Structures are given as C-alpha cells and as structure tokens.
Amino acid sequence: MKTILVIVILLLTSVLETFPQGNLCKEEVSVQEINNLLFKGDKYWRGADGAASIDLGKNKILWLFGDTFIDTLGTGKRTNSTLIRNSIAIQNGEDIDSSSLIFYYRGISKKPRAFFELPGDNWFWTGHGTVVKDKLIIFLFELERTNEGFGFQSVGWHMAVVKNPSDDPLNWDIEYFKGPYPAGILLGSSAVLKDDQFVYAYGVKEPGSHEVYLLRFEIDQLLVGNFSSMAWWSNKRWVNNTGFAPENSVLFTGHTEFSVHYQKEIESYMQIQSFGFGHAELGYRLAAQPQGPWSEPVIFYKPVYADEQEFMYSARAHPELTSNGVLVTFNVNSFDFGKLVRNEEIYFPRIIKLEF
C-alpha cells in the first residue's frame, strides 16, 4: 500500500524555486489538452506511471511503464487490482486517435507479474531505450527495500537487449546485463539517443541530488554487454572513465524521469520534465546539441489538481507519435491511496500537445 505513495516522492525531490525563461519564450508555444482514452481501453490494465516510448519501426511504438495496476477479475475497475512493478504495451500506428494499445506483462491476469523481472526481492522500473542494428536496448533501474528514507532505494541499473523485437513481446529473447554504477549515476532512467556509432544515455544522481550527466557507448560493444567504451561528456570533450563521474560534467539538475528529443520546428534539442513538488508544473530546456549547454527552464503548463493530495511527475515527450508539434505525457497520482484506487481519472498517463 505504501509503494504508490512513496514512489514519486523520490522522483520529485528536485528543484523547488521559480525558474527563469530560456531562449524560447512561453508566449511562443501553445498547449492543448488531449484525450487520454488511448490508455483506458483495456479491462485488465488499469493505470501505470512512467510512460516512455520507443519507435520500433514498421509503424509500431513500444510503451514502457512503471508500477502498474492489473484488474485480476477483468471488470475494468482499479478496485479489483493488484500492483506489479512494470509493464509494456505495443501501439500499432503513430496516430493516437486511430491507434490502440496491446498491454503485456508476465503470468496470467489472475496472477500477474512484472514484464521485466529480477530473481529475489529487488525489482525493476523501466527507463528508456532505442533500437540499434535490429535489436532493442532497454535501460532498467534496480530498486531494493530499505528501512530508511522512503522504504526503497536505487541500487544500480541493468540493460535488457531484445534480439527479436519485431516478434510478440511474450516471445522476446531477452538478455540482461548489469551495468556499472559509478558515483551512484543511474543510466538510462530518462532519455536515450543514438547516432550511427554511439548510444547516448542521460544519467541521474540517484539517490541524491538529481544532477544529470551524459554518457555514450559504442553500439557494437554495448549490444554484447561490454561497457568499457563508456565515456562521460566533461569539459567539452568525451572522457573514458568507468570509475567515477569526472569533474565539471553536470549538465543540469533534473528528475529521474525526463525526455530529450530533437524538435525540428525550433531546430533545437528539447528536454522536458516536471518542476517542483506536489502540484508541480511542466517545463523545458533547449540546446543546440545533446550535451548542451542547456538553457534555463521555461515553465509552460500546470495541470488542474482536484485536491491537495494530488501530485504530478514523470513528464516526457513522445516525438514518435504523429502530431503537429509534440505530444507530452505526465502522471497525476494521490497521496491518499484510497482515492488513487477509486479515482480512475488519475494514474493513467495524461496527454498534452505542445505547439510552436
């Protein structure tokens, strides 16, 4: 019962002050709220957080979710649900108005299990990933229970390599690799990018101050679980060092979950995240290249909250989806677990469209 209440508190412990605007003013963008029925059509899958997306090609999009409610009776009500640590979905088509989602998890609906599993008591929450050389890479972060703080803590990250991502997910051939955890930097929990030679993963100091770093890996070595090519962006160059975070390499202060993508309308890379705690707001930063330098945040949207118990987190953009602009999801949760279970207006990813 405590899990849902504490998950996001850790994810939201970030900067609380008001932020100055960057080089694209708030007045130059518009925000439109979009119906989120895309996530509500399954009678067993009754809400989750996280909501990262990856283009699988062939008109298919993979969705990655964190803690997920599964209605074991199939009544379409969260009150009959059990909680699993992660789930996924496949979207056929790139338009949310004409597409549907097929949700996947392990086990059966009456006894569901997380899609990505660890032996023992620890568990995975999903980060982000990408497709390279016909293989799917997904970064996962590992959690363990603790008697201190919020009752859990991050203890590292893993990488899942799916060798046959075009097959049914229940038939995926998945190989797991445990990654290095230098200076407590959680890799891939937020944004992952790629080019012809490298995969780039943003890393967040977790648990801790939520400082954000950028690392890269040679694709061929990464696919076989060889992390020796890992390099940090530091002092305007790439530094090979797997032992610790080099000095002067912090990009900005972020959250455990955010997105980075290239937005062609403004010819800039855009980083989107939630800002603040509780009744948080959404904002973005801009940069000419993935490693920055990044602008100061621009706050562009604040959701309407039903009461003081509701809180927002896990804001991400989804450039894979067809849109005149960019679609952004975020999650609204409640500190009142009873309200969370009863109110199905929350804990489904919400969608807005950001236009320029």
CA distance 182 to 228: 13
How many helices (H) does the chain have, and how many strands (E)?
A: 3, 27
What pLDDT does 288 receive?
97
Dihedral, CA of residue 205, residue 207, residue 210 and residue 212, to nearest 10: 20
Could you tell me which of 145, 150, 240, 140 has the C-alpha nearest to residue 190? 140
Alpha helices in the chain (DSSP H): 2-12, 219-223, 337-342
In the predicted structure, residue 19 carries a pLDDT above the cut 60? no
Per-residue pLDDT, averaged over 251-269, amounts to 94
User: Which residue has better confidence, 95 or 18?
Assistant: 95
Q: What is the predicted pLDDT for the residue at 246?
A: 79
In the numeric block, which tokens belong to residue 253? 């202060």
pLDDT value at 9 more than 70: no
Kindly report the number of other CB atoms within 10 A of residue 325's CB atom.
17
Find residue 123's DSSP bridge partners. Answer: 143
The whole domain housing 41 covers 2-355
Tell me, what's the pLDDT at 27? 56
Instruction: Quote the CA–CA distance of 282 and 301 in Å, as a whole number.
Output: 5
The owner of tokens 């200076």 is 183
Residue whose token pair is 């455990």: 256
* 144-148-149 Cα angle (round to 5): 95
Overall average pLDDT of the 330-349 stretch? 96
For residues 282-305, give the mean pLDDT: 96
Which CATH number belongs to the domain containing residue 80 in this structure? 2.115.10.20
- The encoded tokens of residue 231 equal 């390099």
Q: Are strands 135-145 and 211-218 parallel, antiparallel or unpaired?
A: unpaired
pLDDT of residue 208: 76
CA-CA distance, 207 to 183, in Å (whole number)?
Answer: 10
Average pLDDT, the chain: 90
pLDDT at residue 26, as a whole number = 54
Q: Which distant-in-sequence residues (6+ apart) come within 8 Å of 97 by Cβ?
A: none
- Looking at residue 324, what is its pLDDT? 86
Q: Vertex 31, ends 26 and 33: CA angle to 5°?
A: 155
Q: Answer yes or no: are the C-beta atoms of 194 and 200 closer than 8 Å.
A: yes
Q: How far apart are CA 47 and CA 243, in angstroms?
A: 39
CA dist list (Å): 24 to 20, 122, 324: 11, 42, 18
CB 113 within 8 A of CB 102: no
Contact (CB, 8 A) for 282 and 268: no
> Which pLDDT tens digit goes with each residue over 23-79?
555 558 899 999 999 999 999 999 999 999 999 999 999 999 999 999 999 999 999
Nearest to 63 by CA among 52, 72, 74: 52
pLDDT band at 354 (very low <50, low <70, confident <90, very high): very high
Query: For 94-133, what is each residue's pLDDT tens digit?
Result: 999 889 999 999 999 899 999 999 899 999 999 999 999 9
Compute the distance between CA of residue 258 and CA of residue 11 in angstroms, rounded to an integer.
Answer: 10
- DSSP label at residue 296: P
Distance, in Å, from the CA atom of 129 to the CA atom of 188, rounded to the nearest integer, reads 7
- Over residues 75-97, the pLDDT tens digits come to 999 999 999 999 999 999 999 98
pLDDT band at 6 (very low <50, low <70, confident <90, very high): very low
In the predicted structure, residue 14 carries a pLDDT above the cut 80: no
> Does the model's pTM come out above 0.85?
yes
Phi, psi of 198 (to 5 degrees): -130, 155
pLDDT at position 151 is 78
Residue 168: partners with Cβ closer than 8 Å, 6 or more residues away? none
* Residue-wise pLDDT tens digits, 268-290: 999 999 999 899 999 999 999 99
Residues 219-242 pLDDT 10s: 999 999 999 999 999 989 999 876
Spatial separation of the C-alpha atoms in residues 116 and 317, rounded to whole Å: 23
Higher pLDDT, 241 or 291: 291
Tens-place pLDDT, residues 130-152: 999 999 999 999 999 988 766 78
Q: How many domains does the chain have?
A: 1
- The Cα 169–Cα 165 span in angstroms is 7
pLDDT at 15: 34
The whole-number pLDDT of residue 356 equals: 87
- Give dist(CA 256, CA 143) in Å, integer: 13
Residue 250 has pLDDT above 70, yes or no: yes
At 166-207, the pLDDT tens digits run: 999 999 999 999 999 888 899 999 999 999 999 999 999 987
